[in-house]
Structure 1
Amino acid sequence: MMSIATPANGHYEIGFLLVPGFSQLAFSSALEPLRMANHLVDRRCYTWHLVSRDGAPVSASSGLQTGVDHGFDEDLSLDLVLVCAGVDVQRHCDRDTLRWLRRLAGRRIPLGAVCTGGYVLAQAGLLNGYRCTLHWEHISSIHEARMFPEVTFTSQLFVMDRDRYTCSGGISPLDMMLTLIARQQGLELAEAIAEEFIHERIRDVGDRQRTPLRVRLGHSHPKLEEVATLMEANLQEPLSLDELASYADLSRRQLERLFQRYVDCPPLKYYMDLRLMRARLLLRQTHMPITDVALACGFISPPHFTKCYHDRFGHSPSGERKRRSDRVAEASAQHAEAARPPGEK
């Protein structure tokens, strides 16, 4: 459950700290859902405040400058502050920025981050004992450098751990903010915003970043990457092992040895896992009939799909759908509780 206290009037004040070199895409993906929420309900559910260290405009990684409303010297009453960063984030973890964030934490203001903003929070010591996420490139480098041993980094798209909210960058802030809006204002509004943005499904905290195979392996192997790309492009009509080997100009035995050596599993098992992960995403985020999901992921026989799914995830495809319904019911209950007038039981 989220730990942001619900204001009695259902209105939230959100701060965005813009760090020089921030990602304009990630920032916009976090801000725009708030604007659309206000538009669709025709009232101000959210007010946002842009902040920089000295109150001066900030240049994004693209070079575009964005004006801000406040500097660190102003006292703001906020319900959440999100750190928006991007390239060269290490250069911008200055003493004033870290001190300001620690001061907010001392006032028990929930903190979050988009893109590499989580690095700033970690540098301030504000993610110690928390689970969080960053873009896969930065997670890899942090692990290699053995930085922030008290922080648990995950490969999830976004993480909401108590009063810390982090996401991996790109358009993942959109999913995190839609999840936040669903909890605060109701799932119906969040889904309406997703439709307005032509965002076909709201990804949840269980979804993970698609880390390139070379990153997971710790090195690049062209033939292995080529085969993995072929698998990802042919989920609905899976290729045979002989076809995969032929396309990559390998023998079947060479292909099996490559996967066993570098991925530690047979190629067909890796392929099956890709198909099942895709099926889980469709079951969670669409209303496609289960039979259609099976076909879309290369399973001609529904019983075979059910067996493979249960073996991989510990429950059936219909059980996955029930979990989704339970999440919707939980979000609706939280919305109803938040909308209840103070003192009413």
Structure 2
Amino acid sequence: MFGQPPYDLPQRFAFILVPEFSMMPVTSAIEPLRLANRAAERQLYDWSMYSVDGEPVTASNGLVTAVSGTLDAIPAHATIVVCSGLDVQQHTDKRLVSWLRKMGRRGNDIGALCTASHILAEAGLFDGHRCTIHWENLPGFSEAFPDIDVTGSLFEIDRDRFSSAGGTSALDMMLSLISRQHGPDLAAEVAETILHSPVRHHSEHQRMSLPARIGTRHPKLVSIIEQMEQNLEDPLSPTVLARQAGLSTRQLERLFRRYLDRSPKRYYLELRLRKARSLLLQTDMSVINVALACGFSSPSHFSKCYRAFFGRTPYRERGVPSLDKAVSGQAAE
């Protein structure tokens, strides 16, 4: 079980790098282990990098990382950490998925950093387990794996499975691991060394609060936007939003113009289009199903709005420009 004191020291970590992996979560996971060894004055943890083919892997920032070997070189009882980042679906290698299933049956602790939760889910390793993923990928993940209990937490540790949302959340996850295995004093010393205070609880949200994101704490505006975010598939009318907030539609309009410099209808549309882009890039859903999931009843209207906002059609976003003309023809009819 991840977090239980290991039978033997050092505890071995095998970081499996997937092309275009995010560098920050990987370094955020490794540095606490290094500093725990230093503070304890003994080798508590050991780690190495691996790739599917044993070749160096290029991160999303362009840096190339050498590895110690292929998957077959990973020690039998290692704690396995899969690391990915951009275009995780494109880089989900069938050989890795098959190997992970085998390791899961063997009983290894297996986890994911950033978007690698998608790879573990593909392998069936999160069935019956809680997990998390970066907030940008959360809508697509939920659509692709509706039966998996995915949260918006910084990290999740559920028995022999663990995951962190990306960025510096891996740091908090490893500090939690160190605290569980070797005591809170050691974890606190590591956190102070890397100037990370306070240590965040796993259940803290990934994103800034809504008031921080929109730049105002106006309670009625915050409440209305929360309603919009919760109702993207079946958008609420301005009349309904105004009534729920105890406002007239004219007051609703003025509120959005004053604080967000756009109409409520426009703001709502942008929320839906951003979700649509996330689904287009992170799932295999058809363009029509993406449109429906984001509150558009007409594919042609969806394409027109998408192109006006992002400068390209949903099909071109998917790399299928040949369908643009057909969609444009529908829109013109």
Aligned AA for 1:201? P
Letter in 2 for 1:230: T
Q: Deviations over 1:236-273 (max 9, x none)?
A: xxxxx6xx9xxxxxxxxx85994686477769xxxxxx
- Matched-pair contact (CA < 8 Å) for 1:37–1:189: yes
Q: Do the aligned partners of residues 203 and 73 (structure 1) sit closer, same or farther apart at CA in structure 2, a change above 3 Å counting?
A: same
Shift, 1:138, TM fit: 0.5
Residue 62 of structure 2 aligns with an amino acid whose one-letter code is: G
Deviation at 1:60, TM superposition (A): 0.3
What letter matches 1:206 in structure 2?
S
Answer yes or no: is the 8 Å Cα contact 1:14–1:78 preserved in 2. no
Q: What is the TM-score when the length of structure 2 is the normalising length?
A: 0.64
Cα offset, 1:10, TM superposition: 4.2
Report the alpha carbon displacement of residue 74 of structure 1 after superposing the two structures with TM: 2.4
Q: Is the 8 A contact 1:57 1:66 kept in 2?
A: yes
Identity %, equivalent residues: 39
1:53-202 counterparts in 2 under 5 A? 53-74=52-73, 76-143=75-142, 146-202=143-199
Confirm or deny that 1:12 pairs with 2:15. no
Q: State the AA in 2 paired with 1:153.
A: V
Q: CA RMSD in A?
A: 2.6
**1:165: how far off?**
0.5
Residue of structure 1 in register with 2:291 after alignment: none
* TM-score normalized by the length of structure 1: 0.62
- Summarize deviations over 1:26-74 as a string: whole Å, max 9, x none: 1100111111111111211101021100111100001100011120232
| Paired residues of 1:25 and 1:171 also in contact (CA < 8 A) | yes
Helix, strand or coil: the match of 2:72?
Answer: coil
Are 2:45 and 1:43 aligned?
no
Q: Secondary structure at the match of 1:89?
A: coil
Shift of 1:6: 2.9
Which stretches of structure 1, 4 residues or longer, exceed 2 Å deviation after superposition? 2-11, 225-228, 254-267
Cα distance in 1 between the residues matched to 2:117 and 2:11: 22
In structure 1, C-alpha distance between the alignment counterparts of 2:73 and 2:66, rounded to whole Å = 16
**For residue 152 of structure 2, what is the amino acid of its counterpart?**
S
Alpha-carbon distance between aligned partners in 2 of 1:256 and 1:59, rounded to the nearest angstrom: 41
Offset at residue 114 of structure 1 (A): 0.6
Q: 1:40 to 1:212 in 2, by over 3 A?
A: same
Distance 2:12 2:25 in 1: 19
CA distance in 2, matches of 1:257, 1:28: 38
1:211/1:5 CA distance change after superposition, 3 Å: same
Letter in 2 for 1:92: H
